[in-house]
Structure formats: structure tokens, C-alpha cells
């Protein structure tokens, strides 16, 4: 048996390449002068077709690799259009829309992320988007934005624009019933949330180590140290579960739905909890717009809405083999 939730050498190499790109082109302080993130860089990296087979124009990597990439996207608060593009490319492929899929992977057709809100849709990152993608309950849908004439507005997050529309006002390009695709979307949302949790943990620990009060770094005080420890705990458990869910989904094992739902639940908790503690640990600075802490809080809220709130009791128990039948 091999059970290994640690990174392979190949995975480390992909991660290093992704980190280099993101450090150079997507530093967090770019968000102080908001503008749409350049999709060409994301596309050129192969991010939008990373786990699609090479004969379909993808890069032929696995689900676990794609998850790691989206963790890094979360750390850098990359536009939700990257996640939307990765899911939309798969939906287009399953719908037989090959040329659309190619345009998405190449970064030529930008995709907005559609959140359902009853009969209405809230679109994240609609600027320049040709289409939108939404998912839920075992299916994914593509919506045509080309003739919609949407006007976008500022969100509570200066670095994230949104548009709102009645759902029936946007023409359907197609809807595909695909439980695995919906689960993959949930998994990538969880991955981005985990990235935010990691980034805020690191920010808080870094600040607690240098900010001095009462003649010593505030991280020496247990009240602050224990906040940081709690951030580390929430991040580690979410991270391990995300890897488990990615492996199980990649192997198409029967407990995939539960493992993914658990990963989503733990990642939401880590991202929001860490974002809150990070603000608290930064004190007055943390409450100011000059500190990046609020960006992570707001983005965590947005991505949390992108993940469905799964009923964790509805799925097949992951440890069915542990319970007496």
C-alpha cells in the first residue's frame, strides 16, 4: 500500500514554477491599484487546462497538481476568473464545444464566476468576460455574456468587481450533468480558500514576530501566540483533508463527495477564521485599508459563497468500512 499525502518531486517543481510566476506578476500589493489580473500570464502557464489531457490541448497533469496550483492562486488572491476558466474549459469540453474550450484555455475567452442567489446571479470578475460558469448539485452551466450589456459595480472588496443579473436574462450556452466536475469545482474553491488561510497565517506570524509592545515582540505573549497556533491548526487540518479529497476524487473512489465536502468545510473555516485573527493580530493597522489583511477577509467571503454548503451527513460515510453494518 502507498498512502502518501506529501508532495512528490514533480509536484514541487510545478509549485516552484507557479510561485515564481505569482511572486513576479501577482504580488498582493498589485491590488492597491485595482485592475483586472492579466489572464494571458495565467493561460501561458497552462493553468486553465492543467489537468486536461494533452490531446485535448491541456497539460495532462493530475487533479492533485491542479489543486496545489489553486492553493497558490489563493495565496496571491488571483482573480476568480482563473478558477472560473479552469471549470468552464472542462464544461465546454464535456459539451463538445471544442473551439470555445481552446479559447478559454488560451485566455482569449475570459470567464466570470456566477454565484446563484435565488432567481438572480451575482457575477464575480465580469470585466471583459465572454461567458460565465456556475455549478451546483452535480452539474455545471455556461452562460453567454456577449450580448448581455452588463454593467459592473464595485464590491466591498476594491480589488473585485461584480455584476448582477436575473438568471433568465443570460442565454445558456449549455449545461452538463457531471458530478465529478461539480466536485472538482468545489475542490478548487477549497484549494483557493486554503491558500488564503496559509497566506494570512504567514502574515500574522510574520507581524507577531516583529511588532514590539511592552519591550518584546507581541508573538512572545501567549494570547497572540495561541491565536497563531490556532491559525496553524486550522490550516494544517484543512490542508491534509484537501490532499486526501484530491487523491480520492482523482481515484474516483466512492467517498469522494464526502471527502470533498469535508475539505470545503474545513477550508472555509480556516480561511475565514484566519482572516479574522490576522486582522486582530495586526491591531489598528489591521483595521486600516493600508494593510492587506482586509483583502483576504473579503476574498474569503467571496470564495466561500462560490462553494456550496454541503450537507455533511448526506454523503456516504468515509469510514463506512469502520462502522458495523
Partner 1 sequence: MQLDLTEADLAFRRSAREWLAANTPGEPAPHDGIAAREFALDWLRRRHAAGWAGIGWPEAYGGRELPPERLVIWYEEYARARAPSLLDPTFVSLNHAGPTLIACGTPEQKAFHLPRILSGAVLWCQGFSEPESGSDLASLRTSAAVDGDELVINGQKIWSSYADIAEYQELLVRSEPGSQRHRGLSWVICDMRSPGITVRPIRNMAGETHFAEVFYDNVRVPLSNVVGALHDGWNVAMTTLGFERKTAAMGLQLALSVKIEELIALARPRPGSALAERLGDLRAQAAGLRALTWRTQFRAPATAFDGSLVRLVFAELSQQIHRAAMDILGPDMLAHGPWSHAYLEAYSETIAGGTAEIQRNIIGERILGLPRGGAR
Q: Which span (99-107, 152-160, 166-174, 312-320) binds partner 1, by CB under 8 A? A: 312-320
Length reported for the chain: 325
Spacing of C-alpha 204 from chain mean position: 21
Tell me the C-alpha distance between 235 and 274, whole Å.
8
Binder of partner 1 out of 165, 200, 243, 274 (CB under 8 A): 243
188, 68 in Cβ contact below 8 A?
no
Residue number, 189 or 261, with CB nearest to partner 1: 261
Residue number, 151 or 321, with CB nearest to partner 1: 321
The three-state secondary structure class of 87 is helix
Compute CA distances 41 → 106, 135, 175, whole Å: 10, 25, 28
2 binds partner 1 (CB under 8 A): yes
4 binds partner 1 (CB under 8 A): yes
Phi/psi of residue 307, nearest 5 degrees: -90, 145
112, 92 in Cβ contact below 8 A?
no
Q: Which span (41-49, 130-138, 274-282, 316-324) binds partner 1, by CB under 8 A? A: 316-324
Binder of partner 1 out of 209, 213, 285, 288 (CB under 8 A): 209
143, 111 in Cβ contact below 8 A?
no
200 binds partner 1 (CB under 8 A): no
114, 121 in Cβ contact below 8 A?
yes
Please give the residues from 45 up to 74 whose contact with partner 1 meets the rule CB under 8 A: 64
159 binds partner 1 (CB under 8 A): no
Least CB distance from residue 264 to partner 1, whole Å? Answer: 9
7 binds partner 1 (CB under 8 A): yes
Tell me the C-alpha distance between 66 and 105, whole Å.
14
Tell me the C-alpha distance between 106 and 57, whole Å.
9
Binder of partner 1 out of 35, 55, 137, 322 (CB under 8 A): 322
Tell me the C-alpha distance between 58 and 224, whole Å.
45
The three-state secondary structure class of 274 is helix
Please give the residues from 258 up to 277 whose contact with partner 1 meets the rule CB under 8 A: 258-259, 261-262, 265-266
Least CB distance from residue 203 to partner 1, whole Å? Answer: 12
- In the complex, which residues of this chain contact partner 1 (CB under 8 A)? 1-8, 11, 64, 205, 208-209, 216-217, 219-222, 225-226, 228-230, 232-233, 236-238, 240-241, 243-244, 246-248, 251, 258-259, 261-262, 265-266, 311-314, 317-319, 321-324
Amino acid at each position: 500500500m502507498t498512502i502518501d499525502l506529501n508532495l512528490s518531486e514533480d509536484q514541487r517543481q510545478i509549485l516552484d514554477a507557479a510561485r515564481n510566476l505569482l511572486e513576479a506578476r501577482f504580488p498582493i500589493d498589485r491590488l492597491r491599484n485595482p485592475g483586472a489580473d492579466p489572464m494571458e500570464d495565467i493561460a501561458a502557464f497552462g493553468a486553465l487546462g492543467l489537468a486536461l489531457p494533452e490531446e485535448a490541448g491541456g497539460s495532462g497533469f493530475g487533479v492533485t497538481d491542479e489543486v496545489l496550483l489553486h492553493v497558490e492562486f489563493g495565496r496571491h488572491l488571483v482573480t476568480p476568473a482563473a478558477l472560473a476558466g479552469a471549470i468552464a474549459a472542462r464544461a465546454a469540453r464535456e459539451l463538445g464545444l471544442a473551439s470555445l474550450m481552446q479559447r478559454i484555455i488560451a485566455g482569449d475567452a475570459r470567464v466570470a464566476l456566477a454565484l446563484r442567489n435565488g432567481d438572480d446571479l451575482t457575477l464575480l470578475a465580469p470585466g471583459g468576460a465572454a461567458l460565465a460558469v456556475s455549478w451546483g448539485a452535480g452539474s455545471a452551466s455556461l452562460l453567454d455574456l456577449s450580448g448581455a450589456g452588463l454593467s459592473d459595480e464595485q464590491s466591498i472588496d476594491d480589488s473585485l468587481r461584480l455584476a448582477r443579473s436575473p438568471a433568465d436574462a443570460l442565454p445558456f450556452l449549455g449545461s452538463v450533468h457531471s458530478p465529478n466536475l461539480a466536485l472538482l469545482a468545489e475542490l478548487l474553491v477549497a484549494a483557493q480558500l486554503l491558500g488564503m488561510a496559509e497566506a494570512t497565517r504567514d502574515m500574522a506570524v510574520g507581524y507577531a514576530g516583529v511588532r514590539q509592545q511592552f519591550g518584546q515582540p507581541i508573538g512572545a505573549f501567549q494570547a497572540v501566540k495561541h491565536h497563531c497556533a490556532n491559525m496553524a491548526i486550522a490550516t494544517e487540518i484543512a490542508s491534509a483533508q484537501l490532499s486526501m479529497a484530491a487523491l480520492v476524487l482523482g481515484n474516483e473512489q466512492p467517498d469522494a463527495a464526502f471527502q470533498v465536502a469535508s475539505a470545503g468545510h474545513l477550508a472555509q473555516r480556516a480561511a475565514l477564521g484566519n482572516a479574522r485573527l490576522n486582522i486582530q493580530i495586526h491591531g489598528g493597522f489591521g483595521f486600516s485599508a493600508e494593510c492587506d489583511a482586509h483583502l483576504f477577509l473579503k476574498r474569503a467571503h467571496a470564495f466561500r459563497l462560490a462553494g456550496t454548503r454541503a450537507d455533511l451527513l448526506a454523503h456516504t460515510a468515509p469510514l463506512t468500512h469502520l462502522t458495523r453494518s
